[in-house]
Amino acid sequence: MKATSDKRQATSTTKIFNFCWHEVAEKEKEQIKEESKKLLNEFASKISKIKIRKPKNENKTNENKTGTRVEGDGWNTDEEFREITFANAPFVENDSIITEKATWKK
């Protein structure tokens, strides 16, 4: 039987081979590099087409166009992360977690 669908196979730029383990020679590494780049470009191009609603805090991230981080006024705490951290905390008083080094135990 062939793979999932002809529609998806048609977009594949990769060659066929068996996936069993073998040692990888330098020449094969070059082929893998070329092929994986092609595949990842296909993937990136495909997800570029979807309309993604920006998350609420998208404009507030501390990054600039150079790829280096700009230290801003501090992070906006992700609510889910805050909830989990507080749930795991040994002692919580109002809006603070009280703990000492090596005592993070319930």
Instruction: Give me the residues that bind another protein (CB under 8 A), please.
Output: 1, 3-5, 7-9, 11-12, 14-24, 28-29, 32-33, 35-37, 39-40, 42-44, 46-48, 50, 52-55, 67, 84-85, 87-88, 104-106
Q: Residue 40 Cβ, how far from another protein at the closest point, in Å?
A: 6
Cβ proximity to another protein: between 72 and 104 the closer is 104
Measured from the Cβ of residue 3, the count of other Cβ atoms closer than 10 Å reads: 8
Q: Which of 75, 101, 98, 100 is nearest to 86 (CA)?
A: 98
What is the distance between the alpha carbons of residues 8 and 3, in angstroms, rounded to a whole number? 9
